[in-house]
Amino acid sequence: MAKPGTGAAAEPDAGAPAIEVRDLHKSFGTLEVLAGVDFTVARGEVVCVIGPSGSGKSTLLRCVNRLEEPTSGTVLVAGAEVTDPDVDIDKVRRGIGMVFQSFNLFPHLTALQNLTLPQRRVLGRDKAEATRVARERLARVGLTDKESSYPAQLSGGQQQRVAIARALAMDPQLMLFDEPTSALDPELVGDVLAVMRSLADEGMTMLVVTHEMSFAKEVADRVVFMDGGVIVEEGSPAHVIGAPSHARTRSFLSRLLDPAAARIGPSGD
């Protein structure tokens, strides 16, 4: 009998958590980036992952939809085992939207075309339906008037909102965000976070790697702090950000929230 996650058994399970990660390891050569990660994201939950650079946050996110191949461990998305070598990974990915640090828009296509192309190629929608959905999603992110603009004619914040709209046009059940505001000028961050906040308000399941502590405090149901490839601490924003238990979490947050207070010394990062 095929194990769960293989062949036809890779169908989404309505009763399963959105994400399950079990004893996940990932190494690049001799460097172990993920050193045994376990966590679950419930449907409709917003989980923000925070931590210093090199802590494994983005690698974890990329392992969820197998853009990175885990060294060992198990990842399930809606009950389908992503790490099963026999899984139809393209089918699983259709239910996952991902937004990267860089916008990854096609520069030779308009905003509207950037949204219609993947719908037609991946979902098989005809031109009229893909255009209708694309316009709805562009309106959803406040860019109705930019459908004919090319990426070079848009600000960074507008390009990132087009990237979010493109992901939403595929009707995902789960959204992954990999530091979506890190490449933006500070004055452009708010518009992107506002779109993400509205998605959370509507019940979208979201796993967000971010340094935006105000967003995490206001929007996240749970915050996960990673360091050294492991989860050091997790809990409510009030606990992890407001009153962290671990010294490493406190050190990270103090440097992030008040960088001018950092001191050079043996214990510095």
Reduced 3-state DSSP string for the chain: CCCCCCHHHHCCCCCCCCEEEEEEEEEECCEEEEEEEEEEECCCCEEEEECCCCCCHHHHHHHHCCCCCCCEEEEEECCEECCCCCCCHHHHHCCEEEECCCCCCCCCCCHHHHHHHHHHHHHCCCHHHHHHHHHHHHHHCCCHHHCCCCHHHCCHHHHHHHHHHHHHCCCCCEEEEECCCCCCCHHHHHHHHHHHHHHHHCCCEEEEECCCHHHHHHHCCEEEEEECCEEEEEECHHHHHHCCCCHHHHHHHHHHHCHHHCCCCCCCC
Q: Give 10-residue mean pLDDT values along the chain (269 residues).
A: 41 79 95 95 96 93 93 94 91 92 92 96 95 96 96 95 96 94 88 94 95 93 96 96 93 80 53
What pLDDT, on a 0 to 100 scale, did the predictor assign at position 264? Answer: 58
Out of 3.30.420.280, 3.40.50.300, 3.90.1170.40, 3.30.2310.20, the CATH code matching 19-257 is 3.40.50.300
Residue that has been written with the tokens 């971010």 in this structure = 210
What pLDDT, on a 0 to 100 scale, did the predictor assign at position 116? Answer: 97
Query: Cβ contacts of residue 211 below 8 Å, gap of 6+?
Result: 50, 179, 182, 256
**pLDDT tens digits for 144-202?**
999 999 999 999 999 999 999 999 999 999 999 999 998 888 888 999 999 999 999 99
Cα 97 from Cα 206, distance rounded (Å): 9
**Residue boundaries of the structural domains of the chain:** 19-257
Q: Are strands 31-41 and 19-28 parallel, antiparallel or unpaired?
A: antiparallel
What is the CB neighbour count within 10 angstroms for residue 124?
9
What pLDDT, on a 0 to 100 scale, did the predictor assign at position 13? Answer: 66
**pLDDT tens digits for 192-205?**
999 999 999 999 99
What pLDDT, on a 0 to 100 scale, did the predictor assign at position 68? Answer: 93
Cα 14 from Cα 24, distance rounded (Å): 24
